[in-house]
A and B are shown apart, each in its own frame.
Chain A
Amino acid sequence: MTSLAARYFDGQSSRVHDVAVELLDNRTLRLRGAGIERDEPLEHLRVSPRLARIARTIELADGARLLLDDHPLIDQWFPLHNPLQRWVDRLERHAHAVAASIVVCVLSGAVLFYWGVPWMSDRIAAQLPEQVETRLGEEVLAQLDRFAGLAPSSLDMERQSGLLERFAALKADMPGAENHRLLFRNAAGIGPNALALPGGTVIITDQLVSLVNDDREIDAVLAHELGHQQQHHALRQTLRSSFVIVIAAMFAGDVSSASAVVVAVPTFLLQGHYSREFESEADAFALRTLAERGISPAWFAQAMRTLEAFVSDQGESDDSPGYLSSHPQTRERIDEAEFAGEKFAIEHPELYRERPDYDACAEDGICEDAESEEMDSDEVYECVDDDCERVEPDASLELQ
C-alpha cells in the first residue's frame, strides 16, 4: 500500500507536523508521524476538489487538516466526493474541452452583443411605462440646455410656426405621435443638427434651419428624427449602453487599474454599431414618410448633401462635428435616398414639382423675371441646353 507524505495541522495551532498517510483498509485513513497517531474513518473526512497543481486538503471531523501534494491516489480514496468539480477539473485538463470553451465564449460574446443586448434592452424598453421615457427626455433636455450650450432660438415667430406646421403635417395620423413636439434651439456649439430625445421631443438647431436651401430638406431631417421617436431609439440606445457597461465592467472589474479604458473601448465601438443600426431604421422610416406625404425622398439626399457640404467647408479642422459625424456612411445613405427618389418619381409622375431638381422655368415655364435673376449664366445655359432634370444638385448648391 502506497503512503503519501502530508503536512498535518491540528486546527488548534499553526504547528506543522510531517506525517505519512495511507489507506488502512478501504474504510480508514491512517496518519502516522512524530507524536501523531490517528486512524480516521473515510466517511468523516472531506477532501478539497482537485484544481491544477495546487495542494489538496483533507479535513478531519475535529477541524484538523492534512495538506498534501496532488496525487491520483487521493481521488481513489474518495471516489464520490465533489462530483461536479471533479468533472470541471477534467474539462480544464482536456485540450478539446478548452478549445470548445474558447468557441463557446467567443460565440456567446458575439451573440450577446449583436443580439442579446439589443433584445434585452428592447424588451425592457417595451415594458417601461411611458412616463419613464418622458421623464428621461426631460432630464436630457435640461442637461443639454445647461451643459451643451443650447440657447433659446433666435428664429422669429413666423418662421417657427411655419416649421411647426410642417412638423404637424409630417406626424399627422402617425400612431402614438400626438405628443411628439418640436423645439427650436440656438446651438452654436453643436452646429447644424437635429436631435431626437427620449419621449417624443425633437430639437432642431437654428444653425440647421438657416443652412438648408429648401424647407423640404427640413422635412426630410424631421422625418428622420420622427423615425427615431416612433421606434423609441433614444431609450433603446440608452438601455443598450447601460448593458454594455455592466457586462464589460463585470469582466474587466479587477484586472488592471486601466479598467476604465478596458470598459470604454468596447462600449464606444458597440455604441457606434448600435447607433448605425438605428440610423438606417430612421432613414428608412423617413424615406417612407416623405413619399407618403407626397414629398420626394430625394429631399433627404439633398439635406444630406447640404450638411456634407457644410462639414467639408469646415474642413478637417472642424471641432463641432455636428450632424454628420453621428451619421456615418453618408454616401450610402444619399444613394438610398436617391434610389427612393427615383422610385417616387416613377410612382408619382404628377408630383414632379416635389423633386429637388424640379426647375419651374424649364418644366412649367414659370420663369423668374430678370430682376431677381442673379444666377450664374453658365447655370442658365446648362438648364436651357441640357435636360434640366440632369442638373447636378451639387452644382446648384455651390452657387450659394
Chain B
Amino acid sequence: MTESDDFSLPLAAPPPPPPVPHWPARVQPMPLVEHEFEFSGRGDEYFRIWIVNLALTILSLGIFSAWAKVRTERYFYGNTKLVGVPFEYLAKPLPILLGRIIAVVLFSAYVLAGQFSIGLQLGLALLVAVLAPWLLVRGLMFRARYSSWRGLSFRFVPDYGESYIRFFVLFLPLLASFGLLYPWVKGKQKEFIVDHHRYGTQVFRFLARPGQFYPPYLIAWSVIFAWMFGGAMLFGFGVALLSAGSTSPPPQWIIWAFVVAIYAGYFVVLAFLAAAIANLVYNSTEVGGRRFQSRLKGGRLLWIYASNTVLILVSAGLLIPWAMVRLAQYRASCLSLLARDDFNGIEVRQGQGIDAIAAEVDGLFDIDIGL
C-alpha cells in the first residue's frame, strides 16, 4: 500500500480485491472521485454564538466556558461536511471543564514562575515536558473518540512508549544537533499522530518519510537568514549614511524600521511554512487507501493571517469570530479526499467489548487538556 512517497496524484492503491471469486472478471475498479470538504459556517452567525457564550462564561466566572467550547466545536464540526454529511463533535462539557481548570492552573503557574525564578520555571517546564507525551496521547484519544462522521467515531490507538520516544527522547538528538534535526523530529511526530488514528476498520497511514520535512524548513530557514542578513546590511548602510559626518547616534526610527522589518519577515515565512507543512501532512495521509489532497497557498494564508491580526487588533477582539470562520473556510476549501468507494462499506472495529472496558478505564482520566 505504501508504494509511493511522492505527491503526484492519483496514486492511491486500488482497494483490496473484492472477496467474491466468481464475480465477472471485467469488473472495473470504481473511478477515483475527488470529494471536497465544505465549510458552511458564517461569521455573523458564529459571532452570535461566540459573544453570547463569552458573556455567559464571564457571568459564570468561567464555569460556562466548557459549554461554550462544546458549542463552538459543534458549530465548526457541524458546518464541515464531506460528501454532504457533517462531522459531529460528541464530547460532554464536564470533562472539558476539568481539563480546562488543570490547564489554566498549569499555565498560570508557568508564567508566574517565569517572573520569579528561572529555576522554578525550568522545573515546571520539565514537569510539563515529562507529562506532555502522556497528556498528548490522552488529548488525541479524547478528540478522536468524540469526533464522529456517519455514525462512526474516530479512534486514537494509544502507544505511550512510542509517544515518549517521539515527543521526549528525540529532543536529545535535536539539542545535540543544535536544532538541525528539527524537521526530521517534526516528521516523526506527525507520523506518530497520523499512524495511530483509526476510523472504524480503516487505518490512517502516513506515507511521507520524516526527511521530506526538510525542504520546507530549509527554504524557510534560508529565507529568514537572508532576510535578516540583508536587513542588517541595509540597517548598517542606512545608519552610516544618516549619521555620516556627525557624531550623533542614528535616529530612532531606523531601529524601529529594522525591528518591524525583521518581524514582518518572520510573519511572512511562518505563513508560507504553515501552508507547506499542512499540505505535506495531508497529502501524505492515507486512510484505507483513500488519499487527502490539500492545496493551501502560502500567499493566501499570509493574507488571511495578516488581515485577521489587524481586524482583531482594531476591533479589540470583537472580530475574532470572523477571523476563525475565514480560516476554517479557507482550510476546508483547499482540502479534499480522493476515494474510489462511496464510504458505505466501513465497519466498526471488531471486539467492541475490549473497547468498552478500555473506555471505562479511560473515563477516569477522560479529560481534554488544552495545552
Using a CB–CB distance below 8 Å, which chain A residues touch chain B? 7, 9-16, 48-49, 51-55, 57, 64-65, 67, 84-85, 88, 91-93, 97-98, 100-102, 104-106, 108-109, 132, 135-136, 139, 238-239, 241-242, 245-246, 249-252, 255-258, 261-262, 265, 314-319
Task: Please tell me which stretch of B175-183, B205-213, B230-238, B313-321 contacts chain A, meaning at least 4 of its Cβ atoms lie within 8 angstroms of it.
Answer: B313-321
Q: Write the nearest CB–CB distance from B201 to chain A, whole angstroms.
A: 10
In the assembled complex, which residues on chain A have CB atoms less than 8 Å from the CB atom of B252? 316-319
Chain A residue nearest to B88 (CB atoms) is A57
Number of chain B residues whose Cβ lies closer than 8 Å to a Cβ of chain A:
71
A93 lies within 8 A of B59 (CB) = no
A385–B312 Cα distance when bound, in Å, is 63
Contact with A along B346-364 (1 / 0, CB 8 A): 1110000000000000000
A257 adjacent to B271 (CB under 8 Å): yes
Distance (whole angstroms) from the CB of B130 to the closest CB of chain A: 23
- Is there contact, CB below 8 Å, between B248 and A315? yes
Q: By the criterion CB–CB under 8 Å, are B313 and A265 in contact?
A: yes
Residue contacts A-B, CB under 8 angstroms, 15 given: A15-B150, A15-B344, A16-B85, A53-B45, A53-B79, A54-B74, A88-B67, A92-B53, A106-B316, A109-B316, A242-B115, A250-B104, A256-B327, A262-B309, A317-B250
Q: Could you tell me the distance in whole angstroms from the C-beta of B185 to the nearest C-beta in chain A?
A: 20
Whether B196 sits at the interface, judged by CB under 8 Å, is no
Is the CB–CB distance between B116 and A92 below 8 Å? no
Q: Which residues of B contact A252 (CB under 8 A)?
A: 312, 317, 320
Residues from chain A with Cβ under 8 Å of B111 in the complex? 242, 245-246
Contact B58 A136 (CB under 8 A): no
Closest residue on chain A to residue B41 by CB atoms = A52
CB distance from A147 to the nearest CB of B (A): 12
| Docked CA distance A97–B263 (Å) | 40
The one of B51, B312, B344 that contacts A16, using a Cβ cutoff of 8 Å: B344
Given contacts A7-B85, A14-B346, A242-B115, contact A256 B74 (CB under 8 A): no
Residue from B40, B74, B306, B348 within 8 A of A11 (CB atoms): B348
Known interface pairs A14-B346, A54-B74; A104-B150 also in contact (CB < 8 Å)? no
Residue in chain A with minimal CB distance to B266:
A260
Residues of B within 8 A of A108 (CB): 58
- CB-based contact B78/A88 at 8 Å: no
Q: Are A256 and B308 also in contact (CB < 8 A) when A88-B52, A136-B116 are?
A: yes
Shortest distance between the CB of B277 and any CB in chain A (Å): 12
Which residue of chain A is the closest to B270 with respect to CB atoms? A257
CB pair B347–A258 under 8 Å, yes or no, is no
- Whether A136 and B71, one on each chain, are in contact in the complex, defined by CB atoms closer than 8 angstroms, is no
Chain A proximity of B220: nearest CB distance (Å): 13
Question: Is B324 at the interface (CB under 8 A from chain A)?
Answer: yes
Taking A252-B312, A318-B252 as contacts, is the C-beta distance between A51 and B49 under 8 angstroms? yes
Q: Give complex CA distance A241, B115 in Å.
A: 10
Q: Write out the residue numbers on chain B whose beta carbons fall within 8 Å of the beta carbon of A7.
A: 85
A55 to B80, CA, bound (A): 11
For the complex, give the distance between the alpha carbons of A379 and B49 in Å.
72
How far is A119 from B41 in the complex, measured between Cα atoms in Å? 39
B86 in contact (CB, < 8 A): yes
Task: List, in ascending order, chain A residues with CB within 8 A of B306's CB.
Answer: 258
B267 within 8 A of A: yes
The answer to whether B320 and A255 touch across the interface, beta carbons within 8 angstroms, is yes
Q: How far is the CA of A246 from the CA of B109 in the complex (A)?
A: 10
Q: Do the beta carbons of A92 and B152 come within 8 Å of each other?
A: no
| Known contacts A51-B74, A102-B51; is-contact A317 B248 (Cβ 8 Å) | yes
Residue of A nearest to B57 (CB): A105
Task: Known A12-B348, A101-B55, A256-B305; judge A139-B116 contact (CB<8 A).
Answer: yes
Known contacts A105-B58, A256-B305, A317-B251; decide if A51 and B78 are in contact (CB<8 Å): yes
Inside 8 A of B1's CB, which chain A residues have their CB?
A: none
- Bound Cα distance A55, B75 (Å): 10
Within the complex, which residue of B67, B78, B149 is in contact with A85, where a contact is CB–CB below 8 Å?
A: B67
Q: Specify which chain B residues have a CB less than 8 angstroms from the CB of A12 in the assembled complex.
A: 347-348
Residues of B within 8 A of A92 (CB): 48-49, 52-53
User: Which A residues are in CB contact (< 8 Å) with B251?
Assistant: 316-317
B323 interfacial contact with A, CB 8 Å:
yes
Q: Which residues of A contact B344 (CB under 8 A)?
A: 13-16
Complex partner residue of B152 from A11, A67, A98, CB under 8 angstroms: A11
